[in-house]
Amino acid sequence: MWAPIYSDNRKIKYSDFKQILEGEIPGIVIKKFYSENQCDEILKKIKEYEITCFEDSKLEHIGPFLMSYTTRKEKYLDKSKEFQKTTHLIFEKVENPFNRINKLINLSLPSFSISIARESERDMSPFVIRVHRKGKSIPIHKDNVNYEGKEYSIADIEYQLSCVIHLQESEFGGDVIIYKNKWNRKHEKYRNIDFGYSSQVASKESCKIEGIEKGDLVIINPNYFHQVTEILGEIPRITLGMFLGIYQKDQRIVVWA
């Protein structure tokens, strides 16, 4: 059975990361990465700033997302700098997620260094906050900076992981489904015009990650096709996402969104 690993102590082993990268497991769920009270404090700040900080796109999100700026590097970097002020406000009373991920890496992979990814000697955005309201969904897709971010220096990473912190869950829907089908170039013929891929890339073997609760951290290999089902409840699904780029030979990890 293709199923994720669940951990309550935040400490995961190198072998766990390896299993994700090689597709032996669909992901890792670290329970209570943030407490409910911490999530509430973050959500309170988000609601204070979301009106002015939402990016100009079809999706509601706070902070720039590199894949929306693949050919607009300077604008992405300018937006990343602006976002730094917002992150300080949102995480005024709660530990910044980059620092918390840093501690996780230090415990799990002590020989690896971790830093925010840089481009043209400027910091990239460390994470993005997404709000998905009723009726929204994320179609089947993959994330692969080697292929889609060729304008950026991080396109030379050896491996990529996706980290998503669930700050608020909807009552119904919003399920994370991962397919045991790793993207390669032959799948591009199934790409949709706007975003995502047709259902033809959905393998028979898949995993709906069960039991995700407020404050949980979910780590997956985003090169495997995945999706988020339609939000059916009135309460929006709110998440904070970032990518980890792994340089295995240099034992170095960079973070960006």
pLDDT over 70 (residue 45): yes
Write out the DSSP string of 154-208. GGG-SEEEEEEEEEE--SSB--EEEEEEE--GGGGGGB-SSSSB-GGG--S-EEE
* pTM score: 0.94
Write out the DSSP string of 2-64. ---EEESSS---HHHHHHHHTTSSS-EEETTSS-HHHHHHHHHHHHHHHHHHB-SSSSEEES-
User: Which tens digits make up the pLDDT trace of 50-101?
Assistant: 544 444 445 588 899 998 888 899 999 999 999 988 898 899 999 999 999 9
Domain ranges of the chain: 5-256
pLDDT over 50 (residue 233): yes
User: Which tens digits make up the pLDDT trace of 13-33?
Assistant: 888 999 999 999 999 999 999
Are 239 and 170 in contact by the 8 Å Cβ rule? The answer is: no
Specify the CATH number for 5-256; select among 2.60.120.620, 3.40.50.300, 2.10.10.90, 3.60.130.10. Answer: 2.60.120.620
